[in-house]
């Protein structure tokens, strides 16, 4: 019997490294009655195929390397330590996703849909437009619970978030000893967003101060003029982070938008709205906004069937025009 996790760990290059020196390793084997003096490759069914993504610019233009692993068509992200060179700006996040996209050679794929939830809607929209301009077969930007074009309640009060983001960026070990548990507690107990540890919470809070809001109007204008792209926008009337009016105004920015409203969390009404969305897509609509009065910040969880059906209709429409 082998217990790999007690004595071995993967380094960033996906190579096994011993956690114990030889004497401790031998003692562990004898004490536990198990054999763990060899790395546990054969214990794992997955064979990782390693990709080195292109270098992307972090803060001050310094390159940040990233590793991703692939098992057949399933992508697994590897936990990485915080890198002080990261700037937490939207441009950097776009560059990271684009680097992963190119590393996996997805540019030749057909019927590409960029889907974003919450803050990632900024990235999905910009990447859909930029990759479409590159001549790739991008057919949709699907935006779920987008934060909109102005400061929303999830990013207020600004002064407190600014202080927390500043303290997190200092990376002072003594300060982090108190800050990380505090942020984890706040996120899990008060905000209602589940985070695994305080380091994750500290990483989450920093990009709040670099959201671009108004700057996205320029991208939306380009998307409106791009006849290849279909925008599917879904928002929740009970989103505890984003006010409904912000979502309504965001949809209006796309111009001639077809709006649908699901007034209650009811299977029959959801089915009717789903069919209406599919009909709009099949009949040539390019901008569709669906409001769910009784949904919160996780529409993709509770209205998954509707979203999948709408995206499937977008793909079918693209297939008919090829």
Does this model's pTM top 0.75?
A: no
What's the confidence (pLDDT) of residue 22?
Answer: 46
What's the confidence (pLDDT) of residue 69?
Answer: 31
What's the confidence (pLDDT) of residue 277?
Answer: 97
What's the confidence (pLDDT) of residue 25?
Answer: 43
Residue 259 forms part of a structural domain: no
Domain of 177 in residue numbering reads as: 154-209
> pLDDT tens string for the chain (322 positions)?
333 444 544 444 445 455 544 444 444 444 444 445 444 444 333 333 333 333 333 333 333 333 333 333 333 333 445 566 777 777 888 888 888 888 888 888 899 999 999 999 999 999 999 999 999 999 999 999 999 999 999 899 999 999 999 999 888 999 999 999 999 999 888 887 788 888 888 888 888 888 889 989 999 999 999 999 999 999 999 999 999 999 999 999 999 999 999 999 889 999 999 999 999 999 999 999 999 999 999 999 999 999 999 999 999 999 998 7
Residue 141 forms part of a structural domain: no
Last residue of a domain, one of 164, 193, 209: 209
Extended beta strands in the chain, E state: 8-10, 16-18, 49-52, 56-57, 63-64, 67-71, 74-77, 112-117, 138-144, 230-236, 258-262, 287-292
Residue 18 forms part of a structural domain: yes
Residue 96 forms part of a structural domain: no
Residue 31 forms part of a structural domain: yes
Q: Which helix (H) or strand (E) holds 209?
A: none
CA atoms within 13 A on the CB side of 266: 9
Q: How far is CA 123 from CA 15, 73, 94, 192, 224, in A?
A: 32, 23, 6, 23, 17
What's the confidence (pLDDT) of residue 81?
Answer: 55
Q: How far is CA 187 from CA 191, 199, 200, 203, in A?
A: 5, 12, 10, 12
Residue 288 forms part of a structural domain: no
Residue 173 forms part of a structural domain: yes
Nearest to 176 by CA among 187, 168, 184: 168
**How many domains, in total, are found in the chain?**
2
């Amino acid at each position: 019997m082998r217990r790999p996790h007690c004595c071995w760990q993967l380094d960033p290059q996906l190579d096994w490294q011993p956690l114990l020196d030889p004497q401790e390793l031998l003692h562990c084997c004898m004490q536990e009655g198990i054999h763990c003096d060899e790395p546990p490759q054969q214990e794992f069914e997955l064979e990782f195929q390693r990709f080195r993504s292109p270098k992307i610019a972090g803060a001050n233009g310094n390159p940040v390397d990233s590793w991703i692993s692939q098992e057949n068509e399933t992508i697994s992200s590897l936990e990485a330590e915080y890198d002080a060179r990261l700037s937490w700006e939207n441009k950097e996040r776009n560059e990271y996703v684009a680097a992963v996209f190119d590393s996996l050679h997805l540019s030749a794929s057909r019927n590409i849909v960029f889907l974003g939830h919450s803050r990632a809607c900024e990235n999905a929209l910009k990447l859909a437009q930029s990759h479409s301009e590159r001549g790739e077969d991008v057919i949709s930007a699907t935006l779920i619970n987008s934060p909109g074009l102005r400061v929303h309640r999830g990013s207020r009060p600004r002064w407190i978030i600014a202080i927390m983001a500043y303290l997190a960026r200092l990376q002072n070990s003594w300060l982090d000893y108190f800050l990380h548990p505090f942020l984890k507690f706040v996120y899990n107990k008060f905000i209602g967003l589940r985070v695994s540890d305080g380091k994750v919470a500290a990483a989450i809070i920093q990009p709040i101060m670099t959201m671009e809001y108004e700057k996205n109007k320029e991208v939306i204008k380009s998307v409106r003029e791009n006849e290849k792209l279909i925008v599917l926008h879904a928002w929740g009337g009970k989103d505890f982070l984003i006010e409904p009016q912000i979502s309504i105004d965001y949809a209006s920015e796309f111009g001639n938008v077809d709006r649908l409203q699901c007034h209650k969390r009811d299977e029959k009404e959801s089915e009717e709205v789903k069919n209406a969305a599919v009909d709009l897509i099949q009949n040539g609509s390019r901008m569709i906004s669906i409001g769910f009065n009784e949904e919160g910040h996780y529409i993709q969880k509770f209205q998954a069937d509707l979203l999948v059906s709408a995206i499937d209709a977008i793909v079918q429409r693209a297939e008919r025009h090829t």
